[in-house]
Amino acid sequence: MSKKSSKVLVAATRNPDKLAEIRQILSGTGIEVRGANEFGGVPVVEETGSSLEENALLKAETVHLSTGLPTIADDTGLEVDALNGRPGVYSSRFAGENATYAENVQKLLRELKDVPDERRTARFRCVVVFVDGRQSRTVEGVREGRILREPRGEAGFGYDPVFFVPEKGKTFAEMSADEKNRISHRALALQKLKDLLVRYFEEADHD
Output the CA torsion 151→154→157→161 (10° steps): -20
CA angle in degrees (0–180, nearest 5) for 30-36-38 = 80
pLDDT at site 206: 61
169 dihedral zone (left: phi>0; alpha: psi -120 to 50; beta): left
Whether the link from the prior residue into 87 is cis, omega within 30° of 0, is yes
Give the contacts of 191 (CB within 8 A, at least 6 positions apart). Answer: 25, 141
pLDDT at site 4: 41
pLDDT, tens only, 136-186:
999 999 999 999 999 999 999 999 999 999 999 999 999 999 999 999 999
Return mean pLDDT, the chain.
93
pLDDT at site 6: 66
Residue 116 one-letter amino acid: P
pLDDT at site 171: 98
pLDDT at site 44: 86
d(CA 131, CA 45): 16
pLDDT at site 150: 97
pLDDT at site 3: 37
CA atoms within 13 A on the CB side of 157: 13
d(CA 21, CA 176): 12
Output the CA torsion 75→81→85→89 (10° steps): -20
d(CA 198, CA 109): 41
Domains of the chain by residue range? 5-206
8 Å CB contact between 106 and 98? no
d(CA 151, CA 123): 17
Q: Which of 17, 74, 75, 205 is catalytic?
A: 75
| Mean pLDDT, rounded, for 49-67 | 95
- Find residue 163's DSSP bridge partners: 147
- Find residue 113's DSSP bridge partners: none
Residue 122 one-letter amino acid: A
CA atoms within 13 A on the CB side of 18: 23
Active site residue 75: yes
pLDDT, tens only, 103-118:
999 999 999 999 999 9
Can you give the pTM of this predicted structure? 0.90
- Of the given ranges (38-47, 66-75, 144-153, 164-173), which has the lowest mean pLDDT? 38-47
Question: What's the CATH class of domain 5-206?
Answer: alpha beta
Residue 18's SS3 state is: helix
1, pLDDT greater than 80: no
Could you tell me the pLDDT band of residue 207, with boundaries at 50, 70 and 90? Answer: low
